[in-house]
Amino acid sequence: MDKIYFQRMEFYGYHGVFEAEAQLGQRFYVDLELSLDLTKAGQSDELGDTVNYADIFTSVRQIVEGERYKLIEALTSRIAEQLLSQFAFMEVKVKVTKPNPPINGHYEAVAVEMVRSREERGL
């Protein structure tokens, strides 16, 4: 299976359980691993035979910046479901990183990663 990767897309969103997170917002990073057959695109060199990267980015941005979730688990799941329904991916791996959650301690970030497939959705 062929793959397309997006690494460390950066967005500003208002996700979190606490009221301050909803009011102030914060940065979120999204990484994608998108599985599909790229044979035709590799042979034809035509955009119509693959997916438009800008459309993928826009779809993710609309979710992260346009919707609000208390949990990054819900945000991650929503991104995965949208990508599977909008594009012809066989499987998607989505990782959402929250670099500054309100946790008293020393750490770089917290992240949630989910893998979803057309097969498990019955598509």
Distance CA 58, CA 107 (A): 30
Tell me which of 70, 93, 95, 98 is the catalytic residue.
98
Q: Give yes or no: 98 in active site.
A: yes
- DSSP three-state, residue 37: coil
Distance CA 62, CA 8 (A): 16
In the 3-class helix/strand/coil scheme, how is 96-111 assigned residue by residue? EEECCCCCCCCCCCEE
- Nearest CA among 29, 26, 89, 25 for reference residue 55: 89
What amino acid positions are annotated as catalytic residues? 98
